[in-house]
Amino acid sequence: MTTQAHQLAVHVRGLRKRYGDVTAVDGIDLGIRQGEVFGLLGPNGAGKSTTVEILQGNRGRDDGEVSVLGSDPATGTRAWRSRVGIVWQDESAPAELTVRETVRHFARYYPKPRDPEEVMGLVGLEEKAASRVKALSGGQRRRLDVALGVIGGPELLLLDEPTTGFDPSARRQFWELIRKLADEGTTILLTTHYLEEAEALAHRLAVIAKGRVVAEGEPSALRERFGTEATVEWTEPDGTPREERTDTPTRTVAELMHRFDGEIPGLRVSRPTLEDVYLRLTGQEDAR
């Protein structure tokens, strides 16, 4: 490992994983800095979950170099595993226990767990502490999953589609939780299908398609690099709506100002969104 790799929470080079004739991960390179929120985006089957499973040590790899918190996940010790938290897409809490019993039970697995009462408050379940898990709503169960992911006070938190099933209000509250954890110094790897979520939370993003990283960088940088065209909309004097896609929207607006000799009716300039860029990078642009 290089000196730079030791300064990263996650360092991946040439990661490959095959299932028979299917290549799920095809030479992925990743570098996740300590304390940052890193988003991993891609369509179903792109290799996101497989990558997360390898990083946690739950799945072996066929090739490549992987370091997570300075260790190879394939040979990670129990002490190393206690430093990594994970929230899977599937629920993991036993249905018959109460929320408090569940969080306290999982806390015993770790050498230096966070206070269970604090964690229940952190995820907004303090009022449900005495409720059985089976009585919780879907969104409340996902909050419990997050609680179980952070109870060990992990240095690295792996979140695999954590807000699936959340209503908009619960999703926003979850975002605040992630920001709080990041402010505390937790490194977070987030996979999500919600582009708004990725843009709101991630310092940097990697877009995966067919098992390969096709783009990486800050959300604003990706929009600038891959979202080349803007859309200029206006209304003609006869009331006909018009629009033009262009790489030079300022020039288009200047020409319209000259034509209209002043205010341009219905003028609107739309820049490419992260979703536009994502669909272009993953070959789904025509799916909109």
> Could you list the pLDDT tens digit for every one of the 288 residues in the chain?
444 455 899 999 999 999 999 999 999 999 999 999 999 999 888 999 899 999 999 899 999 999 999 999 999 999 999 999 998 776 667 788 999 999 999 999 999 999 999 999 888 899 999 999 999 987 788 888 889 999 999 999 999 888 877 778 878 888 888 898 899 899 999 998 888 899 899 999 999 999 999 999 998 888 878 876 788 999 999 899 999 988 888 899 999 998 888 789 999 988 878 888 888 788 766 555
Other CB atoms within 10 Å distance of the CB of residue 128:
20
| Contacting residues for 236 by C-beta, under 8 A, at least 6 apart | 242, 265
Q: Which two tokens stand for residue 107?
A: 């806390």
What number does CATH give the domain 3-218? 3.40.50.300
DSSP 150-191: HTT--SEEEEESTTTT--HHHHHHHHHHHHHHHHTT-EEEEE
Indicate the pTM of the whole model: 0.80
Instruction: Look at residue 3 in the predicted model and tell me its pLDDT.
Output: 43
Residue 239 half-sphere exposure, CB side, CA atoms within 13 Å?
0
Q: Where are the domains of the chain?
A: 3-218, 225-287
Predicted pLDDT at 223:
81
Map tokens 């004739």 to a residue: 21
